[in-house]
Chain A
Amino acid sequence: MKEVELAVIGAGPAGLSGAIESAKKGVNVVVFDENKRPGGQLFKQIHKFFGSKEHMAGIRGFKIGEMLLEEANKLGIPVYLDSPVIGINKDKVVAYVRDEKIQYIVTKKILVATGAMENVIQFPGWTLPGVMGAGAVQTMINIERVLPGKRILMVGTGNVGLIVSYQLMQAGAEVIALVEAKPEIGGYGVHASKIKRANVPIYLKHTIAQAEGKNFVEKAVIAEVDNNFKIISGTEKELKVDLICLAVGLSPLIELINLLDCKQIYVSELGGWIPLHDENMETACKGVYVAGDVSGVEEASSALDKGRIAGIAIAESLQHIPIEAASREIDGIRTRLNELRCGPFGEVSLQGNNKIYQAMRRWENEQGN
């Protein structure tokens, strides 16, 4: 069987930055991705990123993807595309499909960076063609250059809902309205302001009640909701749309890590069930690390930093670098990661992540470590 020191599963921002950091320090690493293209969600992010210089702020997401790939190539990191990982076990053997064959590779460490999956909400008519997740819509407009609808209703006003609404208009569509069940806009005000300057209404305390149409979406019925998110009858409003786009949150993709008996924790503010992990991103299964959305749904900037931390910690645990050097570098990244999480929007992530670290310490104490 083939051997490698580190297998990284997922070639998105977290996986690639983890692979790059570890390879820089001499770790022999292979990256797997089930897609035909690397970069995860970066290549459909055509907007400029927030954050600091270290987070590549001001650079458009797809450019960051290109930069990461270039760096990975320079370091000679093999990125196996079209190669879904179908199994991992306690001995850290990774099973993957490549060239239509199941193959195995023996590893010392595994970094799981599988990302997240879009949530859906169900309503009458939700199975009609023309009801789509915002991520899928973003892939269609920004990668495939296909407009999946001309008149759009966006459900959800988190940053994904706001950004994809803006990008739909950039792609030439009309966004008819956004609805948000909560009493406040979820994402950044500056993203909402872009939508408003285009004269698009944002209905707060509203949801999608029904999609109508014969063979595809021709109409959406929206309605006001009460404080328990129940529809208030009599408040329904019809909108003529041909695409209902759902931007209602993401859940960590933990199927692969579920193959290991890895202790998990439910943190609703970070998307749901998350593998317990410490501040170096190592899970309750020794030698198995997580980074990016699978370790708690956040922004791409955080995914980059979490990947870097995991990569450095792995290099240290494989004794490629001394612990002092690793700690110094990790502390620096952690400081700026925590700075990202200052302010009203970051507070939730900060609290969510602290819950995970605390639960991990408790669990370690119980195990007598």
Chain B
Amino acid sequence: MNRGISFSGTPSEEELEKSPGYPPEEIQRKKKVVIIECIQEIPCNPCEEACKFGAISVGKPITNLPQVDFEKCIGCGQCIAKCPGLAIYLLDYNYNEDDAAISFPYEYYPFPNEGETVNAVDRKGNFVSKGKVIKVSNPKVNECTAVITITFPKQYYKEIRSIERIRGEKNV
């Protein structure tokens, strides 16, 4: 059992559900939406400014947890690369009939290629299922935090958060 992030290094389900940046299940399944897995009160607020739609607020003190107004979130994903904690994801549960898509920050070289089949992993880095890379985005404004989008069988939407690190030479 996961006793919580201070013990396991990964947030527990309970911690996530209590967190104001984590969308309730019905919203996750309804629309393309941001998932902020920031559950400790640390002094940090770049996500607030990253959202041009005013959907994310931290306020004062700066140690408040980011709060998301899920009505205002349009699922643009601009906040993903702005989080120094790499704790923001974008979930598109209804990508198609079988697959969901998730966008996540990625800071390892080499990057996967678009179209490539990769090993999708959960928060603990354990293999969950195969996934397909549909987008690798690394514009200058991201300051070297690439955002990768993969698709995977939708049943794993609550687990899959990243991919296995690809070992090899830098490809960019």
Binding site for B on A (CB under 8 A): 47-53, 57-60, 63, 169-170, 172, 183-185, 188-200, 202, 204, 301, 336, 339-346
Contact for B84 among A58, A170, A184, A341, CB less than 8 A: A58
> How long is the Cα–Cα vector from A346 to B86 in the complex, in angstroms?
21
Is there an interface contact between A57 and B84, defined as CB atoms closer than 8 Å?
A: yes
Interface size on B, residues (CB 8 A): 43
Is there an interface contact between B108 and A169, defined as CB atoms closer than 8 Å?
A: yes
Q: Does B5 contact A (CB under 8 A)?
A: yes
> How long is the Cα–Cα vector from A341 to B43 in the complex, in angstroms?
7
Q: Is the interface of B mostly helix, strand, loop or mixed?
A: loop
Chain B nearest CB, measured from A345 CB (Å): 6
Contact for A192 among B9, B42, B82, B126, CB less than 8 A: B9
Chain B 47-70 interface mask (CB, 8 Å, partner A; 1/0):
001000000000011110000000
Q: Does B37 contact A (CB under 8 A)?
A: yes
Contact for B62 among A184, A188, A198, A339, CB less than 8 A: A339
Is there an interface contact between A185 and B85, defined as CB atoms closer than 8 Å?
A: no
> How long is the Cα–Cα vector from A234 to B82 in the complex, in angstroms?
46
Given contacts A57-B44, A339-B63, contact A194 B86 (CB under 8 A): yes
Is there an interface contact between A204 and B42, defined as CB atoms closer than 8 Å?
A: no
How many residue pairs between the two chains, A and B, have CB atoms under 8 Å in the bound complex?
Answer: 131
Is there an interface contact between A196 and B82, defined as CB atoms closer than 8 Å?
A: no
> How long is the Cα–Cα vector from A198 to B121 in the complex, in angstroms?
9
> How long is the Cα–Cα vector from A150 to B123 in the complex, in angstroms?
24
Which of chain B's residues has its CB closest to A299's CB? B43
Is there an interface contact between A185 and B7, defined as CB atoms closer than 8 Å?
A: yes
Interface pairs (16), CB distance under 8 Å: A58-B46, A172-B167, A183-B7, A184-B6, A185-B7, A185-B9, A188-B40, A190-B87, A193-B5, A193-B10, A194-B86, A196-B125, A197-B161, A202-B8, A339-B43, A340-B63
Is there an interface contact between B43 and A346, defined as CB atoms closer than 8 Å?
A: yes
Q: Does B144 contact A (CB under 8 A)?
A: yes
Question: Which residues of chain A are near B39, meaning CB under 8 Å?
Answer: 189
Question: Which residues of chain A are near B61, meaning CB under 8 Å?
Answer: 339, 342-343
Is there an interface contact between B161 and A49, defined as CB atoms closer than 8 Å?
A: no
> How long is the Cα–Cα vector from A200 to B9 in the complex, in angstroms?
10
Question: Which residues of chain B are near A301, meaning CB under 8 Å?
Answer: 43
Is there an interface contact between B123 and A196, defined as CB atoms closer than 8 Å?
A: yes
Question: Which residues of chain B are near A184, meaning CB under 8 Å?
Answer: 6-7
Given contacts A169-B165, A190-B40, contact A198 B125 (CB under 8 A): yes
> How long is the Cα–Cα vector from A121 to B132 in the complex, in angstroms?
45
Question: Which residues of chain A are near B7, meaning CB under 8 Å?
Answer: 183-185, 204
Contact for A196 among B49, B60, B124, B167, CB less than 8 A: B124
Within 8 A of A (CB), among B1-54: 5-11, 37-46, 49
> How long is the Cα–Cα vector from A100 to B41 in the complex, in angstroms?
50
Question: Which residues of chain A are near B107, meaning CB under 8 Å?
Answer: 170
Question: Which residues of chain A are near B165, meaning CB under 8 Å?
Answer: 169, 198
Question: Which residues of chain A are near B5, meaning CB under 8 Å?
Answer: 185, 189, 192-193
Q: Does B151 contact A (CB under 8 A)?
A: no
Is there an interface contact between B85 and A199, defined as CB atoms closer than 8 Å?
A: no
Given contacts A170-B107, A189-B6, contact A344 B82 (CB under 8 A): no
Q: Does B162 contact A (CB under 8 A)?
A: yes
Which of chain A's residues has its CB closest to B162's CB? A197
Chain B nearest CB, measured from A304 CB (Å): 13
Question: Which residues of chain B are near A194, meaning CB under 8 Å?
Answer: 86
Q: A58-B84, A184-B6, A190-B87 are in contact. List 10 more A-B contacts (CB 8 A).
A: A48-B46, A52-B62, A185-B6, A188-B85, A189-B5, A191-B85, A202-B8, A202-B9, A301-B43, A339-B62
Question: Which residues of chain B are near A170, meaning CB under 8 Å?
Answer: 107-109
> How long is the Cα–Cα vector from A52 to B61 in the complex, in angstroms?
11
